[in-house]
Amino acid sequence: MQLNVGIIGATGYAGAELTRIVLGHPQTAELHLSSVSFEGEAIETVYPNFLGNTKKIIGGLKKAEEVIEAADVVFASLPHGVGEDFAKTCVEKSKPFIDLSADFRFGADDRTFAAWYGKGYRYPELRRRSAYGLPELNRNAIRRLAASGAVIIGNPGCYPTAATLGAMPALARGLAGDGAVIVDAASGVTGGGREPARAYHYPECADNVSPYKVGCHRHTPEISRAFSGIRGAPCPVIFTPHLAPVNRGILATIYIPLADAPAFLPKEAAPRPPSKEIAAQAEALHAVYAEFYKDEPFVRVLPFGAAASTNRVRQSNYCDISVHVDQSGSTLIVASAIDNMVKGAAGQAVQNMNIIFGFEESAGLTAIPALF
């Protein structure tokens, strides 16, 4: 089976990355691209890196409607709140719609979406056909939906992907205690998109690390929803994003209070180094993680003692996870690394496409990351 693929919003960074991955996918035939800003132009005039690789692309950059018409499956990489009509059309035509915006990440919870994104759903009923597209969490739901007709994927945000994969085993296995989970994360600058802006101007973000939107980033409710769902009870989340001078990559460092931690009563002003018992506890937690993910094609629980690094997943769909505890044994510390443009956006979207069509889940996503 060879699919004709449509990408609405192909000239943003996530759209360009989708284009790159879909072009290399062995089960895609034609590729139809839309862009409001560059309608009529060739993709390689906007992205010269594509020169010589455009044989599958049919025509220049088109209107979204033409893309939907020509495609068997439609990806949308648009700003939040503008793609629902395209989703509706796809549902009516029974074409899978894989949405990289936040519009379909909150299921029926219109209230939370409206509170954070400023307006409610236009077509709430579409959520009956939508699933949150984190395959490691939701693979079966996606398959069921696809088997029964139209399907819309709310492709997860980049930070929520790293955070949820990092916390899932602890939350699902009941290791996490009652307190808030803290997600402290750094993102590469491609996360800010293609449009030049002061915050992404080379001289001001090179050689700089800085937090942003502290206490108010829109990915907070998405992370919290995912955590609560996995745990089966409300899970408070504190999330702080940072900008780091790398092109690609998210490194999330996640602090999860342990349910069965020894009562944490420090009697001295300064702690001791981790004891043998603490080291053994860490190794046991690592084993839980390794077991949990042992069949996942894209989650690599690193050997005990290693630490997740963004450069080892660059340009791949992997999520690398390392498992640690603090010196007192009170808190599980998980480092989770993804490429924000691949597992955090375009690669995961293609993984969802593979699930919907029953392809090998790693089809088109087999690129091996280079270390440098």
Counting contacts by CB under 8 A, is residue 149 touching its own copies?
no
Exactly one of 60, 81, 177, 229 binds its own copies (CB under 8 A); which one? 229
Give me the least distance between CB of 71 and its own copies, in Å please. 20
Of 88 and 194, nearer to its own copies (C-beta) is 194
Question: Does 294 sit near its own copies (CB under 8 A)?
Answer: no
Q: Contact between 123 and its own copies (CB under 8 A)?
A: no
> Up-side HSE of residue 167: CA atoms within 13 Å toward CB?
34
Helix (H, G, I), strand (E, B) or coil at 331: strand
Q: Which of residues 315-354 bind its own copies (CB under 8 A)?
A: 315, 318, 320, 322, 324-328, 330-331, 333, 335, 337, 341
Residues 177-196 as x/- pattern, contact with its own copies by CB under 8 A: --xx-x-x-x-xxx---x-x
Per-residue interface string for the shown chain with its own copies, residues 255-274, x marking contact by CB under 8 A: x--------x-xxxxxxxxx
Q: Does 27 bind its own copies (CB under 8 A)?
A: no
Count of residues near its own copies by CB under 8 A: 115
Is the Cα dihedral 308, 309, 311, 317 positive or negative?
positive
How near is the Cβ of 76 to its own copies at its closest, in Å?
20
Say which residues have a Cβ less than 8 Å from residue 73's Cβ, sequence separation at least 6.
Answer: 3, 4, 5, 6, 95, 96, 98, 353, 356, 357
Q: How far is the CB of 5 from its own copies (least distance, A)?
A: 15
Is there binding between residue 202 and its own copies (CB under 8 A)?
yes
Tell me how far apart the alpha carbons of residues 38 and 91 are, in angstroms, rounded to a whole number. Answer: 27
Segment holding 336, helix H or strand E: strand 331-338
Residue 147 or residue 259: which is nearer to its own copies going by CB? Answer: 259
The residue assigned the tokens 């496409």 is: 353
Alpha-carbon distances, residue 131 vs 107, 136, 152, 169, 174 (angstroms): 7, 13, 6, 21, 24
Catalytic, 235? Answer no
CB of 167 to its own copies, least distance (A): 14
- In the bound state with its own copies, the residue whose beta carbon lies nearer, of 90 and 325, is 325
Nearer to its own copies among residue 174 and residue 271 (C-beta):
271
CB of 348 to its own copies, least distance (A): 16
Token digits of residue 223: 């992370």
**Shortest CA distance to 183 belongs to which of 221, 154, 209?**
221
Residue closer to its own copies, measured from CB, 70 or 261 = 261
Q: Is 302 in the site for its own copies (CB under 8 A)?
A: yes
> Could you identify the residue written with the tokens 């092109």?
247
Shortest Cβ distance from residue 131 to its own copies (Å)? 16
Q: How far apart are the first and last CA of the chain?
A: 35
Q: Taking the complex as a whole, how short is the minimal distance between the CB of residue 194 and its own copies, in angstroms?
A: 8
One residue of 30, 109, 110, 361 binding its own copies per CB under 8 A: 109
245 sits near its own copies (criterion: CB under 8 A): yes
Nearer to its own copies, 21 or 67 (CB): 21
Closest CA relative to residue 311, chosen from 269, 240, 226, 251: 251
Binding of its own copies by 308 (CB under 8 A)? yes
Rounded Cα distance, 372 and 323, in Å? 24
Smallest distance, Å, CB 124 to its own copies? 17
Residue 288 binding its own copies, by CB under 8 A = no
Sign, CA dihedral 189-191-192-195, equals: positive
Q: Is 120 in the site for its own copies (CB under 8 A)?
A: no
- Catalytic pick among 158, 205, 235, 319: 158
Bridging pattern class, strands 331-338 and 250-257: antiparallel
Handedness of CA 281, 282, 287, 293 (dihedral sign): positive
Residue reference for tokens 């980033």: 217
Of residues 48 through 67, those in contact with its own copies by CB under 8 A are 48-53
The DSSP string of 1-44 is --EEEEEESTTSHHHHHHHHHHHT-TTEEEEEEE-STTTTS-HH
Confirm or reject binding of residue 108 to its own copies (CB under 8 A). Answer: no
Catalytic residue list: 158
